[in-house]
Amino acid sequence: MLTTKFRVWLQDPRIPPVWTGVKVVDLMEQVGAGCIEVTVKGNGHDLRQLIAKRRDIFAAYLQMVPGKREDH
């Protein structure tokens, strides 16, 4: 399965993010100040769309290189 890892910065770290419509594979809470590391299924298109729509929750993101993960 193709997965893509992102670092996502939140507008307010005290407010939990909403992942509606995103197929989250792995979620690592707080890797930095207001920053969460998340791995999603696919190329991350759904997450990038969500971030663009929900600027009230998400401040910025950094996309890592897509990789392969074995299905379990």
SS3 2: strand
Q: Which amino acid is at 9?
A: W
pTM score: 0.84
On average, the pLDDT of the chain sits at 90
Closest-CA residue to 32 (of 66, 8, 4):
8
CATH of the domain at 39: 3.30.70
Contact between residue 62 and residue 6 where contact means Cβ atoms under 8 Å apart = yes
pLDDT along the chain (72 residues), means of 10: 94 92 90 90 95 96 80 60
Closest-CA residue to 5 (of 53, 68, 59, 66):
66
CA 60/CA 72 separation, integer angstroms: 31
Quote the number of domains for the chain: 1
The domain of 64 spans 2-68
Which pLDDT tens digit goes with each residue over 12-31?
988 889 999 999 999 987 78
